[in-house]
Amino acid sequence: MGRKRTKSGKIRLAEVAELAGVSPITASRFFRNPEALSVAKRTRVESAAKELGYVPNLAARALASQRTEVIGVLIPSLTNNVFSDVLRGIYDASEGSRYSIQLSNTRYSILQEEKLLRLFLAQKPAGLIVTGIDQTEESRAMLEAADCPIVQIMEIGPNPVDMMIGFSHYDAARAAIAHLFAQGHRKIGFVGARMDPRVQRRLDGYVSAMKDAGLFEQRFVVTTATPTSVTLGGALFTDLLAREPDLDAVFCANDDLALGVLFECRRREIGVPEQIGIVGFNDLEFMASAVPTLTSVRTNRYEMGKTAATMLIEAIEGRRPEQPVLDLGFRVIERQSSSSRHPDNRPALSGGAAPNKMVALPSSHD
Amino acid sequence: MGRKRTKSGKIRLAEVAELAGVSPITASRFFRNPEALSVAKRTRVESAAKELGYVPNLAARALASQRTEVIGVLIPSLTNNVFSDVLRGIYDASEGSRYSIQLSNTRYSILQEEKLLRLFLAQKPAGLIVTGIDQTEESRAMLEAADCPIVQIMEIGPNPVDMMIGFSHYDAARAAIAHLFAQGHRKIGFVGARMDPRVQRRLDGYVSAMKDAGLFEQRFVVTTATPTSVTLGGALFTDLLAREPDLDAVFCANDDLALGVLFECRRREIGVPEQIGIVGFNDLEFMASAVPTLTSVRTNRYEMGKTAATMLIEAIEGRRPEQPVLDLGFRVIERQSSSSRHPDNRPALSGGAAPNKMVALPSSHD
DNA sequence: GTCGTTGCTGGTAGCGCTGTCAACGATCCT
DNA sequence: AGGATCGTTGACAGCGCTACCAGCAACGAC
């Protein structure tokens, strides 16, 4: 049943120190800063610890040192594929380090975020990763006053609290529309769900690109606050078609919606891309596999998470990165669903302030 | 920059006690067992705490009380949709409770699991949630010796370490095959990826069902250790077809593979379900939206996580559930992709020892 | 009236570790 | 050679909270 066993044989630092023939404080130092010990004592403590199977008591450490080795992570959703990739990056980066991850879900509510932030901060985390740049005023103040490094992820913008890593959703959307223009599409609709700040900025990018071309029409835009889903993609597309039957392409705020649009086209026997072009956002794995393959804007989610955690840990340990704000860019991955109405292909469009920082996107699966 | 600020104005329990005019220990009791206080002192402490904005120091509490309020969760993957639903349930259940979640990713390695378990156990967690029933001997021993409640999730089997919640993957696979039989399919292939223990048991269920019907052929089975993906579904299906061109249905170990198979059929212009029936596993949201809609085995992932965490918390607080092993069942959701070769429809098949415990599956998104 | 009993409260003593500072010998510079 | 500096080590004093046990009033039973 696993309920028995009362006192586990606790090995304290003092025991290790005794066995090693050093003072407790020296043993303590071994675990925090081994370089500070002479080689002789270092090996003595090391073998003593191993022999006794010593595991430090984190609570005591936290109490005595007035700081924890916890990195708080605030993300809006646990199930959105986008965040699970980011999370995986964060966990991968934290692995092997002394830091552990404390994750909380804001459910896309900045009020909830504020509440969680208060909770986190009270425990004096070693560092904090927060999503986006749209915090409440109160949250912002807490973050600025916080006594630990902070990374804002998912997007970049002015006035970072501390560090920042992401890309411009606005520019990415503009690049997607530019691609559609280049392929000869003109009447381009927008479907968006959830409409969190990042989706909103994609919409803004879409609107500006369309306006720049003198092609914007309010009826081309269909959005909802409802959480995204494949099914919803179909429904929103249906709305869009009802408003504008002559549509020749759709830019979807994410790939789930794009897949839903694709299925809806199939249901209605609308040819893709002959009659309707489709572009998604995020470049989830299935996009390359769909029939026809679906164009999307690739974002470096895994790397974003991994780099954010790495930067944070570096900063915690006193090595602040030379570049506190990192633009990871994006890339329009051109596939069949948006292919040219005129048969001319061109290279992939890239964007972001640091396109050279781009790396291959790891598989979405682990 | 957020790096400044040295000493946050720390309000200790002692301050609260002083303001309330009680001893620190009484104030302490207020937070742990308010019932033990007289009503007068209770309200005094409460308002004092609120006035000062007191937040308990968890490290000190853990050190003094020799236990933490941390629930350790070990799952094989962060990105698999299946686990993100379970996780969401766990987080939802833990919210509002005093417990916080400590998550780690075993990457489908039981050795890694063992390592993490050792790490977790050393910090004396309040409770533990582990995935599956295939631990190493060492892990098993540690779990049995652990001084906290434990829930095994995702599947049920004999000899629970403590509590257990899940369903029979074997039975679920058999039900899927029974459904295909009922629809007139005979040459049914199996495609599986990753081949973790649960997928293996689905395969076992498939094999037994096929053998029972005298229809099993080794060449109907295509599996790989590679992580699952939509693309992989298409590739495995291609292999399968090469081995057995006369196949009339495919049972996919998960929905990603099923979607890949669907796309591959489309690519090859194979009619679904006329020429090939498809059944997936998990019933992810997109299955209902695909064209044709895809049959799948629905599993109660969110509820599994939520119930597991709820049971665990109850057990931690001394209220052990009357039913330590819970079968959440499954349900074959019949859709177009497997529909009858003979036009007769029948109600959905259900399974599991506690089908009445079945609840509506919450949306996969939050 | 005395003696438990119960309900509430407080004092004492750490939990296991680390921050700070001082001390020591060895090394280096002038 | 004398003093300064560096590298290494240890003593001490808590960090903020709770376990444990003692105390005390109020109450009822004998």
Same domain as B150, residue B246? no
Residue nearest to nucleotide C19 (CA to C1'): A65
Same domain as A173, residue A288? yes
pLDDT tens string B202-237: 999 999 999 999 999 999 999 999 999 999 999 999
Same domain as A315, residue A290? no
> What is the C-alpha to C-alpha distance for residues A285 and A271, in angstroms, rounded to an integer?
22
pLDDT computed for residue B147 by the predictor: 85
CATH code for the domain of A349: 3.40.50.2300
What residue numbers bound the domain in which B32 lies? 13-56
3-state secondary structure of B122: helix
The gap between the terminal CA atoms of chain A, to the nearest Å, is 32
- Residues of chain A in contact with residue B80, where contact means CB-CB under 8 angstroms, are 365
| Residue keyed to tokens 């079968």 | B327
Count, residues in chain A = 366
Nearest C-alpha in A relative to B147: A3
CB A144 within 8 A of CB A161: yes
Residue B65 lies inside a defined structural domain of this protein: no
Residue A93 lies inside a defined structural domain of this protein: yes
| Residue keyed to tokens 């985390």 | A125
Of A79, A231, A259, the CB nearest to B84: A79
> What is the C-alpha to C-alpha distance for residues A19 and A37, in angstroms, rounded to an integer?
16
pLDDT computed for residue B9 by the predictor: 55
CB B87 within 8 A of CB B73: yes
CA atoms within 13 A on the CB side of A260: 27
Same domain as A161, residue A95? yes
pLDDT computed for residue A55 by the predictor: 87
Same domain as B33, residue B97? no
Q: Which helix (H) or strand (E) holds B267?
A: helix B255-268
Q: How are the residues of chain A apportioned to helix, strand and coil, as percentages rounded to the nearest 5?
A: 45, 15, 40
pLDDT tens string A57-114: 989 999 998 888 899 999 999 989 899 999 999 999 998 888 999 999 999 999 999 9
Same domain as B138, residue B96? yes
Nearest DNA or RNA nucleotide to B36 (CA to C1'): C8
CATH code for the domain of B35: 1.10.260
pLDDT computed for residue A341 by the predictor: 63
CA of A22 to C1' of D2 (A): 33
- Residues of chain B in contact with residue A63, where contact means CB-CB under 8 angstroms, are 57, 59-60, 63
Same domain as B175, residue B162? no
| Number of compact structural domains in chain A | 3
Which residues of chain A carry a pLDDT beneath 70? 1-9, 341-366
List alpha helices for chain A, DSSP H. 13-20, 24-32, 39-52, 58-65, 81-94, 110-122, 137-145, 169-182, 197-212, 230-243, 255-268, 301-316
Strands A127-131 and A70-75, bridge-based pairing: parallel
Tell me, rounded to whole angstroms, the distance of Cα B112 from its chain centroid.
Answer: 18
Same domain as B271, residue B174? yes
For residue B242, what is the DSSP state? H
Same domain as A261, residue A160? no
Residue B91 lies inside a defined structural domain of this protein: yes
Same domain as B198, residue B284? yes
CB B150 within 8 A of CB B143: yes
pLDDT computed for residue B5 by the predictor: 26
Nearest C-alpha in B relative to A226: B366
Q: Does B274 touch chain A (CB under 8 A)?
A: no
Which residues of chain B carry a pLDDT beneath 70? 1-9, 341-366
Nearest DNA or RNA nucleotide to B29 (CA to C1'): D18
- Chain B from 223 to 262: CB within 8 A of any A CB: 227-231, 233-234, 256, 259-260
Residue B8 lies inside a defined structural domain of this protein: no
Residue A262 lies inside a defined structural domain of this protein: yes
Residue A159 lies inside a defined structural domain of this protein: yes
Interface residues, strand D, Cβ cutoff 7 Å? A 22-26, 29, 35-38, 40-41, 60, 63-64, 66; B 10, 12-14, 24-25, 28, 31-32, 54, 56-57, 60-61, 63-66
Of B122, B230, B289, the CB nearest to A286: B230
Same domain as A77, residue A30? no
Residue A3 lies inside a defined structural domain of this protein: no
pLDDT computed for residue B360 by the predictor: 37
Q: How many CB atoms lie within 10 A of CB B289?
A: 23
Tell me, rounded to whole angstroms, the distance of Cα A256 from its chain centroid.
Answer: 17
Of B63, B100, B286, the CB nearest to A230: B286
Q: Does B91 touch chain A (CB under 8 A)?
A: yes
Q: Does B365 contact A6 at a Cβ distance shorter than 8 Å? A: no
Residue B150 lies inside a defined structural domain of this protein: yes
Same domain as B282, residue B212? yes
> What is the C-alpha to C-alpha distance for residues B281 and B199, in angstroms, rounded to an integer?
10
Nearest DNA or RNA nucleotide to B44 (CA to C1'): C9
